[in-house]
Structure 1
């Protein structure tokens, strides 16, 4: 398996009191490598990701695309040999950058012939419309619970402490599934925000936890359409993001009945703030002052 971080030599430039300084130092950067995803031997997608938890990533990706519903839909997941041939020796070596998933239904393959590339910056996984996403999902979103906003802020503080790769590099996103008491059930990091979400949803699928109706999804990035889509496909009723929400994410969450929270900013002293975009009933605001 490839490394998650690498060391590189950089030049530093600083200005102090109007004087320019320059130097050299060693720095950590987040690793970004391609992952060639194959389904029943046929290439399905090429995504740029941080190595690690690839099996979870692909399970989450396939679930978000509506191609699988249960972990039993996959009979085998393996890294392919001979992804790269050594120039000097001529011997094939496993780069751990090609994975082939075999499904229990071989007839699935003709339905998944669209070949597309996703970068670490975008992850709209071939979905053509909100209606198409709704047709793929097997779940409805639970409406029978409400959450103290302070639970979300506490989870955001806890997520910051768990972002070990970000602490070293400043170059990855994080996603977490959080229960209604604020406990982080799983945390994953990746250069792609959609990959981090795929990894946590893939974890839930492999743990037989889908639909995860009694949790919320917390992401360290902005909320975009594809993240809202993936949360809906997994039956997650509430999505909280540290940054902004896009207009299509707001429209999608509104139509799906999902609570969307943005600019979730938690301070160390226990205070914090957030913006509530859609379906406020899942937040318990009875103790609001003023």
Structure 2
């Protein structure tokens, strides 16, 4: 499996392994890679384009264009694939360590740019989706699509199968044990897409960005499973992408539950060991006899 991993997604380190009864031995460990990614945007009329840094996030290298595209969508900078002309690695970086660590997203000329709003994105860590935002109002995306009210419906037993299917597809996690995952499933439990990253929010942005670039939004017939807890930011990002069901291996926060209620999203927590809790809109989850 290791041979198929993106070469920039992991690194090797020599460690001293301590085992009860066996003392200390030298070994090689595989680490999940973490490097900064600077996201720049180009905007304005064709004859007067401007470029500026939008965000710096700590991420696992790989799927960088998807990460940038997903971030732009879930943070309300763009609303559709048509508003994004493309994403590329910046060719004008001067330092070797910046190569493939700086991307530029070119916005369509029709996209209005609110400079004060852009400034709030300047830095996000791999573990926090709102650290760089200057006010509570800025946390809310500019708009979220209406989630479907006629489904999708899921058999209760399908939910139990999702964590195992997600873990089986986590190639880098299998090697490092140090990555989060965001997986998109069909209502029948078929894995459609999975992305990994050291940051929970980055993993989801990569998954949503992949769907955006493939022009598959909104994801109204999709179930999202995240490997950690369910935060408000993950609920918001899922809602922007039109995802009606969010399942988390860990616990949801109170604000995540409130947001899911408001968005019309079915939110599941503690999805592990053949159990889970339904925190909002349980009508999408059906028993086998009623499905």
Give the TM-score normalised by the residue count of structure 1: 0.87
- Could you tell me which residue of structure 2 aligns to residue 212 of structure 1? 219
- The 1-side partners of 2:17 and 2:168 are apart by 27
- The 1-side partners of 2:244 and 2:265 are apart by 5
- Could you tell me which residue of structure 1 aligns to residue 150 of structure 2? 144
* RMSD over aligned Cα atoms: 2.3
Contact map agreement 1:243 1:264 (CA 8 A) in 2: yes
Structure 2 counterpart of 1:191, from 198, 208, 216 = 198
Report 1:115-154 matches (<5 A).
115-124=121-130, 126=133, 128-129=135-136, 133=140, 135-137=142-144, 139-145=145-151, 146-154=153-161
Aligned to 1:252, the other structure's residue is in SS state: helix
- Could you tell me which residue of structure 2 aligns to residue 14 of structure 1? 19
| Alignment size in residue pairs | 273
1:35 aligns with 2:41: no
CA distance 1:262–1:179, change in 2 (3 Å) = same
- The 1-side partners of 2:24 and 2:13 are apart by 17
Structure 2 counterpart of 1:99, from 96, 103, 111 = 103
- Could you tell me which residue of structure 1 aligns to residue 282 of structure 2? 280
- The 2-side partners of 1:175 and 1:259 are apart by 16
Contact map agreement 2:10 2:33 (CA 8 A) in 1: yes
- The 2-side partners of 1:173 and 1:184 are apart by 16
Runs of 4+ in 1 over 6 A off after TM superposition: none
- Could you tell me which residue of structure 2 aligns to residue 66 of structure 1? 76
Give the TM-score normalised by the residue count of structure 2: 0.87
Structure 2 counterpart of 1:173, from 170, 180, 183 = 180
1:202 aligns with 2:209: yes
1:155 aligns with 2:159: no
- The 2-side partners of 1:257 and 1:130 are apart by 20
- The 2-side partners of 1:15 and 1:177 are apart by 40
- Could you tell me which residue of structure 2 aligns to residue 79 of structure 1? 89
CA distance 1:81–1:205, change in 2 (3 Å) = same
Aligned to 2:20, the other structure's residue is in SS state: strand
Structure 2 counterpart of 1:57, from 67, 74, 81 = 67
Contact map agreement 2:83 2:110 (CA 8 A) in 1: no
Structure 2 counterpart of 1:228, from 232, 235, 246 = 235
Contact map agreement 1:81 1:94 (CA 8 A) in 2: no
1:24 aligns with 2:26: yes
Deviation by residue 1:103-152 (Cα, 9 ceiling, x = unmatched): 11276344443142111111127495589636422x11112122112112
Aligned to 2:76, the other structure's residue is in SS state: coil
Q: How far apart are 1:12 and its partner, in Å?
A: 1.5
Aligned to 2:276, the other structure's residue is in SS state: strand
